[in-house]
Amino acid sequence: MTLYVPAHFATDDRAAMARLMHDYPFATVITPAGGELHVSHVPLLHVPDGEPHGTLVGHFARANPHWLHAEGVESLVVFQGPHAYVSPSWYTAPERMVPTWNYAAVHAHGTLAPVADDRQARGVLAALVERFEGGRAAPWRPTMPAPQFDAMVSAIVAFRIPIRRLEGKFKLSQNRNAEDRARVAQRLRGEGYAEAIATAEWMAQFAGAKRPPQ
């Protein structure tokens, strides 16, 4: 499984790809096995470790058969970053342009390994809770009775995916001149919805889209 990435939009910036996986952690896990594609949507943590590209950590519901098919088979994990529609009318020469879509995405390839050890599975749960609760003024913590917590742990399958290969595609108008990039980013900021504004910010950081002169 290979991502189509024209040269303009390819990136090997590991820090930028790590940021996308951190900021947009709700990922799509795709595993080809048994003549079909097994697909699940799950939050994942990107953990820097001894692997060349780090390791992804998460869990499935045990009732989800995906984990049964994924062991020993390379999976593709898709992280979709900010994205937004771009109108031809925003360019300096709109009559020569067509509608398009700006976006950033990262594809991570690796083989999923279920975590068999109960202590490690609890560690995965704790890491996920800390990631999404840790910054809150009153973070939630599991305070349920031990039997109920044990039942919850037994209802999931924690896993790790050591990343073998990373592909990044940041399609952020790099194939346009500086003035057009600035115009697109400015219009995206004015669209008034979060994804468009986020796409403009990524254009500024990773495609050099400056604000046009007033």
Residue 70 lies inside a defined structural domain of this protein: yes
Question: 40 near 28, Cβ under 8 Å?
Answer: yes
- 10-residue stretch averages of pLDDT, the chain, 214 residues long: 92 95 98 95 94 94 96 96 98 94 98 91 94 94 89 94 97 96 96 97 89 56
CATH assignment at residue 80: 2.30.110.10
- pTM of the predicted protein model: 0.94
Residue 24 lies inside a defined structural domain of this protein: yes
Residue 191 lies inside a defined structural domain of this protein: no
Cα–chain-centroid distance for residue 189?
A: 22
Q: Give the model's pLDDT for residue 213.
A: 54
Q: Give dist(CA 139, CA 129) in Å, integer.
A: 9
Three-state DSSP string of 65-101: CHHHHHCCCEEEEEEEEEEEEECHHHCCCHHHCCCEE
Q: Give dist(CA 139, CA 77) in Å, integer.
A: 29
Q: Give the model's pLDDT for residue 211.
A: 64
Q: Give the model's pLDDT for residue 116.
A: 84
Which residues neighbour 10 within 8 Å (Cβ) at sequence distance 6 or greater?
Answer: 168, 169
Phi, psi of 65 (to 5 degrees): -70, -5
Residue 28 lies inside a defined structural domain of this protein: yes
Please report where in the chains the tokens 């709700």 appear, as a residue: 26
Residue 199 lies inside a defined structural domain of this protein: no
Residue 197 lies inside a defined structural domain of this protein: no
Look up the domain containing 106 and give its range.
7-84+101-176
Q: Give the model's pLDDT for residue 117.
A: 85
Kindly tell me the burial class for residue 83, based on how many C-beta atoms sit within 10 Å of its own C-beta (0-12, 13-18, 19 or more). Answer: middle
Residue 1 lies inside a defined structural domain of this protein: no
Question: 77 near 53, Cβ under 8 Å?
Answer: no
Q: Give dist(CA 184, CA 173) in Å, integer.
A: 8
Residue 93 lies inside a defined structural domain of this protein: no
Hey, what are 102's tokens? 């700006």
| Number of domains within the chain | 1
Strands (E), the chain: 10-11, 26-33, 36-43, 45-47, 55-61, 74-86, 100-111, 113-114, 156-171
